[in-house]
Amino acid sequence: MSNQRFAVLGAGGVGGYFAAVLSRAGYSVSVVARGTHLEAIRRNGLRISSPKGDFTVAVANASDRPEEIGPVDAVILAVKAWQVSAAANTMRPLLAPHTKVLPLQNGVEASQQLEQVLGPQHPLLGLCRIIASVESPGYIRHGGLDPMVALGELDGSTLSPNAQALAEALAAAGVAVQTPTDMQVALWEKLLFIAAVSGTGAVTRSTIGDVRTCPPTRELMRRLMEETTTVARSRRIRLSEDVVTRTLAFVDSSPATGTASMQRDMAAGRPSELEAIIGAVVRFGDQAGVPTPAMDFIYASLLPQENRTRSDAQHPTR
């Protein structure tokens, strides 16, 4: 066991799961959380319900103040996509000169946002595949998709020692770890999947199983994938010729009862990652002069609710 110290900033469904499995594997993991979730983690540890087995584990430290944790070797950033820039400022007490930050947000812009705040030495490129959500304070349900993390350096170079240590720790904790030669391709393949599943799921208020077995909705999902592929190629992202076919096959192999986090947030009346997922494809398409009619429809259908939710969040009723 190494003496590496890790921190997870944003210990919700995704961050909480990775913090828990790393802690269970014997690593020193601190979490930055808030409110009743933080209180429950301090009191009872992190409780995980998973097809891989239920367990409860204590973490090294849980706090809402990063300065109480101090510098670590690597930070897993698992806040929502719209919170990345603010989180980058918040995490400064966690950073030593060689600390690496692994962003696991949906979308393709988190690493660039981190770099703008922290400089190029800290951020990695990263993504994950997992269905996980907070069921109640301190209690996280893993929904069945085998957890996977992919990571790479911003410049495509060999992993630095701290990034390699984080990759090895995740693998030892039972997470499938990938280090693709082209992380931009990996990020856009994830966006292609999540935009299609989130978009169709949110607009139809249906599970993955319902969406993929309803022919008109499956066709809408395929069109969203095709449009995202065209936008990616306009940005010189080298997606393979069979990327849509492979992604549809992945959808078909996903848990039928699964839903995307953006869809769950919208259904619960919470602010969502609409802008980072659907809005980004529309925005990049507009910049490149690439038509995205299906994505435009999804965006237009969901934006009024997103605006209303964010307005209500800023001006809650008393």
pLDDT at 128: 95
- pLDDT of 248 higher than 80: yes
Is-contact 83 10, C-beta < 8 A?
yes
Distances (CA, A) of 255 to 130, 143, 216, 219: 11, 8, 20, 19
What is the set of domains in the chain, with CATH numbers? Answer: 5-181 (3.40.50.720), 184-314 (1.10.1040.10)
Distance CA 76, CA 69 (A): 14
Average pLDDT over residues 57-66: 96
The string of DSSP letters for 116-165 reads HHH-TTSBEEEEEE--EEEEETTEEEE-SSPPEEEEEETTSPSPPHHHHH
pLDDT at 144: 73
Sign of the C-alpha dihedral, residues 9, 136, 198, 257? positive
Average pLDDT over residues 119-129: 96
- pLDDT of 270 higher than 50: yes
pLDDT at 289: 98
User: How does 187-206 read in b/e, with b if 16+ C-beta sit within 10 Å?
Assistant: bbbbbbbbbbbbbbbbbbeb
Is residue 235 helix, strand or coil? coil
* pLDDT category of residue 159 using cuts at 50, 70 and 90: very high
- pLDDT of 71 higher than 90: yes
The residue among 129, 81, 71, 118 whose CA lies nearest residue 103 is: 81
Looking from the CA of 301 toward its CB, the CA atoms found within 13 Å total 17
The residue among 214, 216, 234, 210 whose CA lies nearest residue 285 is: 234
- pLDDT of 317 higher than 70: no
pLDDT at 2: 66
Q: pLDDT tens digits, residue range 277-315? A: 999 999 999 999 999 999 999 999 999 999 999 998 775
Distance CA 137, CA 47 (A): 9
- pLDDT of 30 higher than 60: yes
Question: Maximum Cα–Cα distance for the chain, whole Å?
Answer: 53
- pLDDT of 1 higher than 90: no
> Interior CA angle at 32 toward 258 and 147, to 5°?
30
The residue among 140, 88, 90 whose CA lies nearest residue 116 is: 88
pLDDT at 163: 97
